[in-house]
Amino acid sequence: MSSTKATLRLSENIDDDGDITVRGADRLVETTREFASIAQTSGCGELMAFATSAVRDARNSQAVLDRVNAEAGVKLDVLSGVDEARLTFLAVRRWYGWSAGRILDLDIGGGSLELTYGGDEDPEVAYSLQLGAGRLTRDWFLDDPPGKRRISALRDWLDAELAGPTKDIRGAGDPDLCVGTSKTFRTLARLTGAAPSSAGIRVRRTLTASGLRQLIAFISRMTTADRAELEGVSADRSQQLVAGALVAEAAMRALGVETLEICPWALREGLILRKLDTEMGGELVVAAR
């Protein structure tokens, strides 16, 4: 098995009209072409290519998809926000198993925040909100580092945006396990003392609300360049780290969550698991732990 990654940050490449910029589209085409070539030379028999929030919400989404198809030879399927949330929840359920009981999952991407809750493999409640770390960085933070007033204003705005969805989720019942998925949560957990990725995926990692608050007070005073020097923070992620931390803080506060378990599986694994389920004609039960 091999793994290759590239950070596009499409959610930060949206112009004032809501279009993906030429630069962003060029990067998407180039990366898709490159990864399709890697898949072919690696002997991959089938390519599963999906786009999420940034492409889904862009005004010129279809034009960009057509470019990728014509120039890279790859048809990108666009996941809806709810599908993205449900597939991520499936991955979380399969990782922790049925003994975990009722699960609440939070997932922060570049363009959206997914919130899901339920006791089965398909969540009872699923929200996809336009509160991604990249989107908020682009819309809210023009200064580097961001000013205290701007951070305070974003906190208040996030509380208002999350009030309705989180009330709905809390009304569905108390979770037995609260989980955070995505690179943003893994990075935040690492910066608050969780084990590094080199320790392996089976090491238990958590993120606490108190640790997150202390971290925000620290990183919000740093420039993007300084944050990139922190252990576990890549240059690609450093710019949107503060916004991601504020979204995580607001969601945990609104949901009354003090500690999140960090799950190594997320959307990618959910897509693969659903594909395997479909091809096997039924449910494939996988428990990683």
The pLDDT score that the predictor gives to residue 134 is: 92
pLDDT at 47 over 80: yes
159-200 per-position pLDDT tens digit:
999 999 999 999 999 999 999 999 999 999 999 999 999 999
67-89 per-position pLDDT tens digit:
999 999 999 999 999 999 999 99
256-269 burial: b if 16+ Cβ within 10 Å, else e: ebeebbbbbbbbeb
CA 155 remoteness from chain centre = 19
The pLDDT score that the predictor gives to residue 281 is: 64
The upper half-sphere exposure of residue 111, i.e. CA atoms within 13 Å in the direction of its Cβ, equals 22
Total count of residues recorded for the chain: 289
Average pLDDT over residues 266-286: 79
Task: Catalogue all structural domains in the chain, each as residue range(s) with its CATH number.
Answer: 10-78 (3.30.420.40), 81-268 (3.30.420.150)
Which ranges in 61-112 belong to alpha helices (H)? 61-72, 81-96
- Residue 34 CB contacts under 8 Å (≥ 6 apart), including other chains: 6
Burial of 115 (0-12, 13-18, 19+ CB in 10 A): buried
Q: Which residue, 62, 174, 78, 185, is CA-closest to 117? A: 174
| Residue 233, CA distances (Å) to 93, 149, 215, 237 in order | 27, 25, 13, 6
pLDDT at 288 over 50: no
Lowest mean pLDDT among 22-36, 39-53, 131-145, 244-258: 39-53
6-41 per-position pLDDT tens digit:
888 888 888 989 999 999 999 999 999 999 999 999
The pLDDT score that the predictor gives to residue 282 is: 54
Tell me the whole-structure pTM to 2 decimals.
Answer: 0.91
Say if strands 113-118 and 103-108 run parallel, antiparallel, or are unpaired. antiparallel
Q: Please calculate the CA angle 34-39-40 and round it to the nearest 5 degrees.
A: 100
Give φ, ψ of 201 to 5 degrees.
-80, -15
Per-residue pLDDT band at 289 (split at 50, 70, 90): very low
The pLDDT score that the predictor gives to residue 11 is: 81
Q: Which residue, 28, 22, 32, 30, is CA-closest to 8? A: 28
Residue 92 CA to residue 123 CA, distance in Å, equals 11
The pLDDT score that the predictor gives to residue 274 is: 93
The upper half-sphere exposure of residue 122, i.e. CA atoms within 13 Å in the direction of its Cβ, equals 4
The pLDDT score that the predictor gives to residue 5 is: 82
129-167 burial: b if 16+ Cβ within 10 Å, else e: bebbbbbbbbebbeeebbeeeebeebeebbeebbeebbe
pLDDT at 221 over 60: yes
Q: 3 or 98: which carries more pLDDT confidence?
A: 98
The upper half-sphere exposure of residue 120, i.e. CA atoms within 13 Å in the direction of its Cβ, equals 7
Q: 287 or 196: which carries more pLDDT confidence?
A: 196
For the chain, what is the mean pLDDT?
A: 93
91-104 per-position pLDDT tens digit:
999 999 999 999 99
The pLDDT score that the predictor gives to residue 219 is: 98
- Give the start-end residues of each E strand in the chain: 50-51, 77-78, 103-108, 113-118, 125-129, 177-181, 206-208, 259-262
